[in-house]
Amino acid sequence: MILKIKKLVNDFLFPIKCVSCGKQDYLLCKQCKNNVKIFDEGFCFSCLRKREDFSVCPSCKQNTSLNGVFILGDYKDYSLKKLIWDLKFNFIKDSAEPLSSLLFERFKDLDKNNFTVTSVPLNEKKLKQRGFNQSEIIAHNFSKRLTLGYENVLERSKNTESQKDLTRFERKVNMEQAFNIVAKVQDRNFYVVDDVITTGATLDSCAKVLKEAGAKQVWGVVLARD
């Protein structure tokens, strides 16, 4: 009863509105959802060459442990960026619902053979500040829609500095040996969910440690490319 009253008060003081047009009762209304600029064609996350399935192109394979990265849309899209921003920095967990829905609708036909969904672990400092891992929430929602299992198989082995102002090379160095394996991954395939990709250094670090532990395929699944 108390929780219901709190929710009513919260809804009254902070009514739900579409992040794009302001329509009430929706964080992303149907019309604005249809206007989100998603990537209809696949491409190599590293060099951006067109690919049918978002796989890494032959010339980039030697530089990454990832099989590819499924990317929903462009971080320049206002609605997509606002939802991600609200989830990460304004702590609006409800933003995960429309984001997960968009992700599933774009990638609902992913291969499910021996695949498990996991997420990029948040460093301890950020986890304490935020209280939750936004990528894990998205991954849970996405895995349920895909009817695939979710499992935490990675943990942070060090608190890396923010990647925001680092060069491509500095990002790669920053993420070296940043993760440990905490579950059996041998002969398994994984979709590693994260919110935003820039150079791919974080996801690549995850893929490297997974494959060193015996994983077969490791694909990234992200909401936006910055």
Pairing of strands 179-181, 68-74: unpaired
What pLDDT is attached to residue 1? Answer: 56
What pLDDT is attached to residue 178? Answer: 75
Cα–Cα distance between 135 and 96 in angstroms, integer? 9
Contacts of 77 (CB under 8 A, 6+ apart): 36, 37, 224
Q: What's the pLDDT tens digit per position in 61-74?
A: 999 999 999 999 99
Q: Are 42 and 54 in contact (CB under 8 A)?
A: yes
Return the HEC string of the chain.
CHHHHHHHHHHHHCCCECCCCCCECCCCCHHHHHCCCECCCCECCCCCCECCCCECCCCCHHHCCCCEEEEEEECCCHHHHHHHHHHHHCCCHHHHHHHHHHHHHHHCCCCCCCEEEEECCCCHHHHHHHCCCHHHHHHHHHHHHHCCCECCCEEECCCCCCCCCCCHHHHHHHCCCCEEECCCCCCCEEEEEEEEECCCHHHHHHHHHHHHCCCCCEEEEEEEEC
Residues of the chain with CATH 3.40.50: 40-225
Q: What's the pLDDT tens digit per position in 71-110?
A: 999 999 999 999 999 999 999 999 999 999 999 999 999 9
Choose which CATH entry (1.20.58, 2.60.120, 3.40.50, 2.40.10) describes domain 40-225: 3.40.50
Q: Taking residues 130-150, what's their average pLDDT?
A: 96
Residue 128 confidence (pLDDT) above 90: no
Q: What's the pLDDT tens digit per position in 158-214?
A: 666 566 656 665 666 656 677 999 999 999 999 999 999 999 999 999 999 999 999
